[in-house]
A = this chain, B = another copy of it.
Amino acid sequence: MTQLIESAKRLVSESIIAPKGFSAAGFHCGLKHKKKDIGMIFSEVPASVAGVFTTNAIKAAPLVLTKNTVYANEKMQAIIINSGNANACTGEQGIKDAKQMQVLAAAKLGIDENLVGVASTGVIGERMKMDKVEAGIAALQLGGKLENAIDFAQSILTTDTVMKNTAYSLEIDGKEVIIAGVAKGSGMIEPNMATMLGFITTDANIEQSTLQSLLKETTDITFNAITVDGDTSTNDTVLVLANGLANNQTLDEQHPQWSTFVEIFQLVSRDLAKLIAKDGEGATKLIEVTVEGGATDAEALKIAKTVVGSPLVKTAVFGCDANWGRVICAIGYSGCSIDPTNIQISIGQTMVVDKGEPLQFDEAVLTAYLKNHEVKIYANLFQGDGYGQAWGCDLTYDYVQINATYRS
């Protein structure tokens, strides 16, 4: 899956406005101290929309509004996003405020309010400062240049340290199709969505129902396969807008190039997921866990997530300690079917466990490997053909520091 298919290429100027007909904006309106905190994505024409949302029973007001909008209308033309305030646990007023953001954005763009999605991220339980939001929406200047896309990518960040962008170009029916994505992390990141917002734009022509199924399946093996700290947030949202301006034949499972489109769509999602994991709060390293030989794909994925989510594995990676005992321990408590006497574990290129027992290995080689910014752990369980991959990050002093002092 890491080898790119021949007809696709990664775009150097990775940006959400790379597909035809999209523009973006980002601005500082005062919800955060200094950084940009309000942003907008806009498509020249209404786009097919698909969405996945948090599984948390406590759902933020803008998420509820946007979910309803997606299901009711199946088209979306603009998304308005703020950072600095999650607008969660804010009661009736919160719902009114989210609606007001939708109305203000629609009025500014001269489009139907049902074509506008709303997303928020930030502190829970504080009322939105709507005067600042209103001024912010008024001040947004949409544009189709890289700088506009950067303004937007910055405007959705909270404790993230870097922007998260990716984009690929491929050919469908002889037409260039572009799929681009932008996301924010970076705490409360756990399977079944997280404090993450992800936005994918494409100029592909694709039916809404097909897009929704594709997004759901893709989310399970990408955004839901990352974990930073096990906390699932109230605001997690991924939205895809497909505006059809590439003029390809409508994509569905019968289309001869369907698998190509799926592969690149998954790649965009996986890129964003890995960028989020790598930029987990306080993280210094991306950890990738690959499990083969699971009883099923679902079990392999569950085991991979369990290992990458173990605080003891995460601290060991931070400390460059080849403590494979914590890996096998996490495999053991994953709740999946395993044979303790037939487990193989490698860290990087070094096999450390075979048949459930330790092998001799050069500790210095492994310690050196663990100093890399990307650490790969492999396990084979010899239970079946199940395959799964999950991503996370190390657990560091900075994670504690960031989260002990977040509000203050």
Contact = CB atoms under 8 A, between A and B. Distances in A.
A382 interface: no
A230 interface: yes
A58 B57 CA distance: 33
Nearest to A394: B404
Contacts of A260: none
Interface in A40-57: 55-57
Given A57-B340, A59-B340, A231-B311, A321 B406 contact: yes
A315 interface: yes
A222 interface: no
A407 B323 contact: yes
A292 B55 CA distance: 23
Nearest to A234: B329
Interface residues of A, number: 64
Contacts of A311: 229-231, 311, 399, 403
Contacts of A405: 319, 321
A400 B231 contact: no
Count of this chain's copies in the oligomeric assembly: 2
A190 B330 CA distance: 12
Contact of A332 (B58, B91, B401, B403): B58
Interface stretch (A4-12, A197-205, A241-249, A350-358): A350-358
A136 B55 CA distance: 53
A161 to B, nearest CB: 18
A89 B325 contact: yes
A55 B321 contact: no
A318 B125 contact: no
A209 to B, nearest CB: 28
Nearest to A403: B315
A305 to B, nearest CB: 12
Contact of A58 (B229, B232, B331): B331
Interface string A389-408: 00000011101110111111
Interface of A: 55-59, 86, 88-91, 123-126, 187-188, 190, 192, 229-234, 309-312, 315-316, 318-319, 321, 323-326, 328-334, 338, 340-341, 353, 355-358, 395-397, 399-401, 403-408
9 contacts: A58-B328, A58-B329, A58-B332, A124-B326, A230-B311, A231-B330, A234-B329, A323-B406, A397-B400
